[in-house]
Amino acid sequence: MTGPVWPRPGPTPPDPAMPPVPDPSRASRSSAKIVVAGGFGVGKTTFVGAVSEITPLRTEALMTEASTDVDDLGSTPDKETTTVAMDFGRVSLGDELILYLFGTPGQHRFWFMWDDLMRGAIGVVVLVDTRRLGDCFAAVDFVEDRGLNYIVAVNCFDGIARHGVQDVREALSIDPDVPVVLTDARQRESVKQTLIELVEHVLRQRRQPVGSPG
Amino acid sequence: MEELSNDATPIVRPYARTRGRTRSDYDLPIEALVTTADGAVGDDARMNPEHRPIADLCRQVQSVAEVAVRLALPLGVARVLLGDMARIGLVIVHATAGDATGQPPVALLEKVLSGLRQL
Ligand SMILES: Nc1nc2c(ncn2[C@@H]2O[C@H](COP(=O)(O)OP(=O)(O)OP(=O)(O)O)[C@@H](O)[C@H]2O)c(=O)[nH]1
Ligand SMILES: [Mg+2]
């Protein structure tokens, strides 16, 4: 499988000449994305909103219940479709680059859509509320399973970290390389710092060849 | 029967707009930036009614996700329509971080990092 093909079945290989067509006059524009994951009510929307230049926008992602393999609803007209809300914010980094932040839908049964969301992402911030640590297990499972770059950010509700970073690290039993940081989802500076930690982490991973010791 | 609790969702079959398709030949990332191609706005021959509001909106650069929100389209519908429009040259798609390998290049990560530091 080399890429999305429609209609299916049918030999319609993706045409390498397809867009994106770089427009010479605007070729310098580009975008990137970071995904914010975590359990219900952990502060994802607050986190996105703290740094976004727009009020987080809510979009409906419509999908079939069954699977991602169903490309053509026309062939299965009775298939249930459902919507999930996902919100996103925007941060302009200079004139040429726009960073989008996407808050994932928390419901487990929608996580099959994450692969699509994660494609091309810089990495993932897994937000954690230490009062309900278990709520983030599924998000950590997901990013680890997919081998995504991520950091864990403990959202200090009311400015208090009820458990230390080390406790969280142990409870999640995550790789020692994965940063665990404290954040305050309501504070722009704090959110900014958390995003910086993520990108620095990803850069470290990328510069260190896979499989090399240390 | 599940409750239709979603305020903004009209009771129509959303993918009717795409003739039932949930994929386009070209799958755009949701963060991809799109701009209406020069000359596309008046080009009624190539444009169907679904395309027109998108072409109007994207005279200023928009992401796929923003098009969905601004035109109250489900994200998947916006992706299919924009993918079709890109294919026939009505919109121009700008580069995204994950283009070639799916992983953002180091140079772009560095740009993001310095951009964040300067915020
Ligand atoms: N005191 C305090 N409240 C917070 C903090 N972060 C979020 N909240 C509040 O917690 C509630 C949930 O925050 P949201 O940002 O909506 O959480 P979410 O993860 O987007 O929630 P869902 O999308 O429903 O899963 C809101 O009432 C926020 O105001 C924080 O750091 N401190
Ligand atoms: Mg939310």
Domain locations in chain B? 14-117
Residues 62-121 of A with CB under 8 A from B: 62-64, 70-75, 81-83, 85-86, 88, 90-91, 93-94, 97-100, 102, 116-117, 119-121
**Contacts with B89 from chain A: Cβ below 8 Å:** 21
Residue A146 to chain B, least CA–CA distance (Å): 13
Residues of B with Cβ-Cβ distance to A115 under 8 angstroms:
none
d(CA B39, CA A156): 51
pLDDT confidence of A212, banded at 50, 70, 90?
A: low
| Nearest residue in B to A17, CA atom | B87
- Nearest CA owner, ligand 1 atom 8: A43
| pLDDT over threshold 70, residue A106 | no
pLDDT of B11 over the 70 cut: no
R_g of chain B computed on alpha carbons: 16
pLDDT at position B23 is: 65
pLDDT in tens, A69-81: 444 444 444 445 5
C-alpha A113/C-alpha A102 separation (Å) is 13
Residue B52: phi, psi to the nearest 5?
A: -60, -50
A210 touching B (Cβ < 8 Å): no
Confidence of residue A58 (pLDDT cuts 50, 70, 90): confident
Task: Give the residue, by CA position, lying nearest to ligand 1 atom 3.
Answer: A157
Res. A100 pLDDT band, cuts 50 70 90 = very high
User: Which residue from A minimizes the CA distance to B85?
Assistant: A19
- Tell the CATH superfamily of the A29-69+77-207 domain: P-loop containing nucleotide triphosphate hydrolases (3.40.50.300)
Amino acid symbol at A198: L
Mean pLDDT (chain A, rounded): 76
Listed in sequence order, the residues at least 6 apart from B47 whose beta carbon sits closer than 8 Å to its beta carbon are B40, B55, B90
For the stretch B60-84, pLDDT in tens is 999 999 999 899 888 888 988 999 9
Q: Name the residue among B6, B89, B95 with its Cβ closest to that of A30.
A: B95
Between A198 and A56, whose confidence is greater? Answer: A198
Can you give the pLDDT at residue B99?
A: 59
Q: What is the ipTM of this complex?
A: 0.78
Element (H, E) at A201: helix A188-207
With 80 as the cut, is the pLDDT of residue A131 above it? yes
* Residue A89 Cβ contacting ligand 1 at under 6 Å: no
Contact at CB, A29 and B15, closer than 8 angstroms: no
Phi/psi for B116 (5° steps) reads -65, -40
Q: Which ligand is nearest to the CA of A49?
A: 1
Tell whether A206 lies on the interface with B, counting CB pairs under 8 A. Answer: yes
CB B69 within 8 A of CB B38: no
Closest to A184 in 3D by CA, of A200, A204, A165, A161: A161
Instruction: Give every CB contact of residue B13 below 8 A, 6+ residues apart in sequence.
Output: none
Q: What angle do CA B69, B74, B77 make, to 5 degrees?
A: 115
Which residue in chain A is spatially nearest to B13 when comparing CA positions? A81
Q: In this structure, are residues A101 and A33 in contact, taking their beta carbons and an 8 Å threshold?
A: yes
B20-60 pLDDT, tens per residue? 666 666 678 889 999 999 888 777 788 888 999 999 999 99
C-alpha of residue B38 to centroid of ligand 1, in Å: 43
Cis omega (within 30 of 0) for bond into A213 = no
A51 to chain B, any CB pair closer than 8 A? The answer is: yes
